[in-house]
Amino acid sequence: MTVAIATTLAGKAVEVAGEPVRAAVMEITRRVRERFYGRPSEERALARGAEEPEVLQGAVRRLLDEDPDFRSELEGLWNQAHTEASATDDGVVNVFSGQAQSVVQLRDVKGTLNIG
């Protein structure tokens, strides 16, 4: 999520699957920009994001680390968007949330399948 936010903040296109995810990335980016406003080091990182993406990523990480509630809010938006993602045409969307020792996600299995 941090890389997607920093990439979008830097004005670069982000490859995301589906409109819900794209909308969430834009909303998250807007909220991070608002938090950066009036903070000189973050504003500098934002201005130089295209040339120094690692600096911008670090600024985003610091922002999320110093405000766990804000991080949770953004993670909620991110997770909700992934849950709402839907496949079109011949596409596939796999959503997994939670804890598991093993996860298997399949599509179009033809023939015998043995999982052991």
- What count of other Cβ atoms lies within 10 Å of the Cβ of residue 19? 12
**Residue 111 falls within a domain, yes or no?**
no
Q: In this model, does residue 110 exceed pLDDT 60?
A: yes
The domain total for the chain is: 1
Alpha-carbon Rg for the chain in angstroms:
18
**Residue 40 falls within a domain, yes or no?**
yes
**Residue 69 falls within a domain, yes or no?**
yes
**Residue 101 falls within a domain, yes or no?**
no
Q: In this model, does residue 48 exceed pLDDT 70?
A: yes
Give the residue numbers spanning the domain of 84: 1-88
Tens of pLDDT, residue by residue over 10-21, are 665 555 556 667
Band of residue 38 on the pLDDT scale cut at 50, 70, 90: very high
Q: Give mean pLDDT, residues 95-99.
A: 67
Give the pLDDT score at 26: 82
